[in-house]
Amino acid sequence: MTAPRAPIEVREFPVPELPQGGALLRTAFSEVCGTDVHLWHGRLAGVPYPIIPGHVTAGVLERSRGQARAIDGTAINEGDRVVFFDVHRTCGRCMACTVNRTPTRCASRRVYGITDSATEGLFGGWSQAVYLEPGVVLAKLPDAVSFEDYIGGGCGLLTAVHGIERASIQLGDTVVVQGTGAVGLSLIALARIAGAGTIVAIGAPADRLALASRMGADAVLDVERTTPEERLQRLSDLTQGQLADVVIEAAGSAHAIEEGPNLARNGGRYVIVGHYTNVGDSRINAHEQINRKHLDIRGCWGSEAGHFLRALRILERHARQVPWNEIGAKTYGLHDLNAALAEAEAFTVPKALVEPNRSR
Ligand SMILES: [Zn+2]
Ligand SMILES: [Zn+2]
């Protein structure tokens, strides 16, 4: 991706010389997520174009210099199926990392496929090989987890693990998820695993809502065919007037923020996960929607290595029951990436996958 709105180019790079502790991954799958669409439109600040997009990626360890190890110390050998945490260079020393304990706000933090420039090498998954620099958090993909399960969950699953942590779901809680994209779909599944009672999903289009039901939603409301008033009434009917203990926003729309607080009960929680770019102001009445309601509003930015490892454990345990592999509905080779971006933007598939090593 050479610049915002420029067509994706296929370029050749030299095979990197590995430093001690470095490794090379042969890519099996990467993905096109909503962030990649934003990157292509130039909506994220400080992106060092040209970049090789693709932050969450899975593959096979092709080569390492020195024994490669997972973060828990387990040896990783050439030929093993490997995944890595796309966030790297979090410093562990700054105010954000130590005093404030918000490592996802560390200024040194870099992310494969987003804030790493292609001028520095193979730092993105839309590539046949990915350079894993020393210090990148690696893990073996558990035997029970297919590449398709992992990448179907992808970055949306990692974000959802963090969102569920922020939501502090209690057993039996009624949970509303706004948005049925990759993040929302994983939030539905994880809310169920976390012990939620009734789960209501708000989204579109119809096939995405059908997938939301298969991910674990008890009721789905089509955001394009209902008004906010009708959705509130429906939620009220479903909960005998109690409304939601927890509402989680994964829609990325300013209107979702205007509606979300109304769906939460008095003293409920509202977790905002979907606003990765600035989509403009939302109109909120602080008296009606927050203060009098005693509402607890929480943001959620990025993910940490712990969320990555938890996502792997969840997949290992639940990927046979939860259809994460259905989220990655369509696969593209390196020469079809402009079409993949267009499909992702048009929401015609829940998620487009990138398979760089497939023959054309
Ligand atoms: Zn730091
Ligand atoms: Zn992403």
pLDDT in tens, 154-204: 999 999 999 999 999 999 999 999 999 999 999 999 999 999 999 999 999
> What's the 323 CA to ligand 2 centre distance in angstroms?
19
- Dump pLDDT digits (tens) for 19-55: 999 999 999 999 999 999 999 999 998 999 999 999 9
- What percent of the chain is modeled with pLDDT above 90? 95
> What's the 112 CA to ligand 1 centre distance in angstroms?
17
> Average pLDDT of 328-339?
93
pLDDT at 17: 96
The CB density around residue 320, as the number of other CB atoms within 10 Å, is: 11
Kindly report the backbone phi and psi dihedral angles of residue 103, in degrees, each rounded to the nearest multiple of 5, phi listed first. Answer: -60, -20
> What's the 299 CA to ligand 1 centre distance in angstroms?
19
As beta bridge partners, residue 131 has 24
pLDDT at 43: 92
> What's the 108 CA to ligand 1 centre distance in angstroms?
6
Residues around ion ligand 1, judged by CB within 5 A, are 91, 94, 97, 106
> What's the 213 CA to ligand 2 centre distance in angstroms?
23
The bridge status of strand 138-140 relative to strand 129-132 is unpaired
pLDDT at 360: 65
> What's the 356 CA to ligand 2 centre distance in angstroms?
17
> What's the 93 CA to ligand 1 centre distance in angstroms?
5
Residues 11 and 349: their CA atoms lie apart, in Å, by: 27
Burial 86-122 (b: 16+ CB within 10 A, else e): bbbebeeebebbeeeeebbebeebbbbbbbbebeebb
pLDDT(349) > 90: no
Peptide bond into 14 cis (omega under 30): no
Residues 213 and 225: their CA atoms lie apart, in Å, by: 17
